[in-house]
C-alpha cells in the first residue's frame, strides 16, 4: 500500500517527471559528446588564441543546446510532441536565413583548425588579399598584409580582416604549406653582341655568392643549385636565373643578387645590359661606321 500511495502522490507530477528525466538523459549524452569534441579540438590547436577560440565555440554549442532543450521541454509539457518537428523546422529555417554567414564562418573555422589548410604564421593569398595569418577566430581570419601599399612581398603594417566563409568561395594559396622556401627568379636583359656564355656564368656566380651563406639553413631535400633560362627579345636576350629562396626574405635576397649582377656586369667588357634605344646604321658610305642614339 505504501508504494501505491507513493505512486498516487506522484501521479499529478508524472508529466513533469517525464520531462525532467528526458532532459537529464539528453543532458548527460550531450555532455559526453561535448567532452569528446573538446578533447579532439584541443589536440588540433597549439596557441593560446586557438585554445580560446575552441572554448568559445564550445560555449556557443552549450548555449544553443540549452536553448533548444528549453524549447523541447516547454512543448513537451504544454503542447503536443508531434508539433516539435514542425517548430524545430521553422526555427532551423529562420536561424539558417538570419545567421547564414555567421554559421558558415563557424563551419569554415572548424574546417581550418581540423584540416589545417593554413596555420597561424603562414603566408597565404585569399582572393585579392595576401598576408601572414596572425589569428584565426570563430568568424574571421586576421592577416598582416603583405604588399598592398607597395609592389613587393614585404609587410605593409596594415591588418586585413577576412570572414572565414570566404574559403568556400575563393581559392587559397599557401606559401608555407610544405616549408619556408619558394622558387624565385631574376631576369637580366643583355644585348645580342654580349658573350652569352659569360653572361650566364656571371648571373650564376652572383646568385651563388648571395645564397651560399643561407644554404646551410635549407633542408637536404631542397635543391640549392641555381639554373638559367633564356628568352629572345626584340632588343636583347633575357637571361633568367632561378633559385630557391626564403619566403619572408624574398625581396631582400633578390635585391642583393641584382646588385651583385649589376656590379659584375659593370666590370665585364664582354657583357652589356640591353635597354630600349634606337640604332642608325650608315652602310652605303661606310659600312663599318654606325651611330647610336
DSSP notation for 88-145: HHHHHHHHHHHTHHHHHHHHHHHHHHHH-SS-TT-EEEETTEEEEEEEE-SSEEEEEE
Say how far apart CA 87 and CA 235 lie, in whole Å: 75
| Phi, psi for residue 98 in degrees, rounded to 5 | -75, -30
Mean pLDDT of the chain: 81
Q: What tens digit of pLDDT does each residue of 3-42 get?
A: 555 455 555 555 666 667 777 787 788 788 878 887 877 7
Kindly state the average pLDDT of the residues 71-96: 61
Contact 251, 153 (CB under 8 A): yes
Q: What tens digit of pLDDT does each residue of 133-152 get?
A: 988 888 889 999 998 888 77
Q: Which helix (H) or strand (E) holds 172?
A: strand 172-174
Helix (H, G, I), strand (E, B) or coil at 265: helix
CA atoms within 13 A on the CB side of 14: 7
**pTM of the predicted structure, to 2 decimals:** 0.65
Contact 193, 272 (CB under 8 A): yes
How far is the CA of 136 from the CAs of 32, 159, 163, 208, in angstroms?
A: 27, 13, 10, 39
Q: What tens digit of pLDDT does each residue of 211-255 get?
A: 999 998 898 889 999 999 999 998 899 999 999 999 989 999 999
Kindly state the average pLDDT of the residues 45-66: 71
- Decide which of 178 and 90 is more confident: 178
Q: What radius of gyration do the chain's Cα atoms show? A: 34
For residue 1, what pLDDT is reported?
A: 46
Kindly state the average pLDDT of the residues 253-274: 95
Does 181-267 carry CATH code 3.30.70.100? yes
Residue carrying the nine cell digits 580560446 = 52
Topology of domain 118-174, CATH: SH3 type barrels. (2.30.30)
Q: Which residues have C-beta within 8 Å of that of residue 227, sequence separation ≥ 6?
A: 204, 241, 242, 243
List the chain domain ranges.
Answer: 2-98, 118-174, 181-267
For residue 268, what pLDDT is reported?
A: 93
Amino acid at each position: 500500500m505504501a508504494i501505491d500511495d507513493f505512486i498516487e502522490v506522484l501521479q499529478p507530477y508524472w508529466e513533469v517527471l517525464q520531462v525532467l528525466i528526458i532532459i537529464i538523459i539528453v543532458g548527460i549524452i550531450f555532455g559526453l559528446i561535448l567532452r569528446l569534441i573538446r578533447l579532439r579540438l584541443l589536440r588540433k590547436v597549439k596557441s593560446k588564441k586557438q585554445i580560446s577560440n575552441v572554448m568559445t565555440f564550445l560555449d556557443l554549442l552549450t548555449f544553443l543546446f540549452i536553448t533548444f532543450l528549453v524549447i523541447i521541454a516547454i512543448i513537451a509539457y504544454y503542447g503536443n510532441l508531434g508539433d516539435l518537428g514542425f517548430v524545430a523546422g521553422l526555427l532551423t529555417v529562420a536561424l539558417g536565413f538570419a545567421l547564414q554567414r555567421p554559421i558558415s564562418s563557424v563551419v569554415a573555422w572548424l574546417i581550418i583548425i581540423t584540416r589545417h589548410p593554413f596555420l597561424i604564421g603562414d603566408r597565404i593569398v585569399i582572393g585579392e588579399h595576401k598576408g601572414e595569418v596572425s589569428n584565426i577566430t570563430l568568424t574571421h581570419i586576421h592577416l598582416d598584409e603583405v604588399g598592398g601599399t607597395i609592389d613587393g612581398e614585404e609587410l605593409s603594417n596594415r591588418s586585413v580582416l577576412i570572414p572565414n566563409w570566404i574559403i568556400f568561395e575563393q581559392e587559397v594559396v599557401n606559401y608555407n604549406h610544405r616549408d619556408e622556401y619558394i622558387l624565385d627568379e631574376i631576369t637580366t636583359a643583355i644585348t645580342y653582341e654580349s658573350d652569352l656564355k659569360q653572361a650566364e656564368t656571371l648571373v650564376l656566380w652572383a646568385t651563388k655568392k648571395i645564397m651560399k651563406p643561407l644554404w646551410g639553413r635549407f633542408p637536404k631535400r631542397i635543391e640549392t643549385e641555381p639554373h638559367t633560362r633564356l628568352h629572345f627579345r626584340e632588343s636583347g636576350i633575357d637571361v633568367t636565373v632561378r633559385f630557391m629562396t626564403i619566403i619572408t626574405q624574398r625581396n631582400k635576397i633578390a635585391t642583393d643578387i641584382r646588385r651583385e649582377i649589376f656590379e659584375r656586369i659593370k666590370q665585364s667588357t664582354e657583357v652589356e645590359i640591353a635597354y630600349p634605344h634606337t640604332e642608325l646604321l650608315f652602310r652605303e658610305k661606310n659600312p663599318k661606321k654606325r651611330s647610336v642614339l
